[in-house]
Chain A
């Protein structure tokens, strides 16, 4: 597709379960970002991948959160042992030039 694709669009899980969120960036974009948007809040940076460089993980809130990017393309954000405070919209963005980000429509995660 032409844009950034995220799946699933919505995810409901039980507290303590693991979840995986997927992001398909725009083809050819070397940079990929994950952001979290909690209710009534702005976007909180989680992690940033750029080419083959080591990712910037400085925004990950705890060691329950991890992300990988395979083959410089698709990325998966994994949350282990989910907690209710993890409920949020998780947005992915990709870019070729770092000042021009293109966002996906996000995954709404609800932890019951």
Chain B
């Protein structure tokens, strides 16, 4: 358990509305990630962060933005939600050893988003 909590766990929204998902961790891990999980696609990386205010794009970043103003929180924002963004979103951290990323991911329990 890496002390990761996601909120909200479930959300239904309408097309065109903004949505923010929050990932909170309690162990001060440097690396944080947002993935989406869809049937037939496995997990795909949306954005990741390697420190406060340091973020970068992943494989499927279009339509998403992120922010990390403090170590413990990593926010994922859908500026204008679309039906194609209906998915389960997972936050994850990777632990470090000697300052280096170990490559082992620890996941939150997911946030299920439905865009009508």
Do A and B truly interact? no
Which positions in B face A, CB cutoff 8 Å? Answer: none
Which positions in A face B, CB cutoff 8 Å? Answer: none
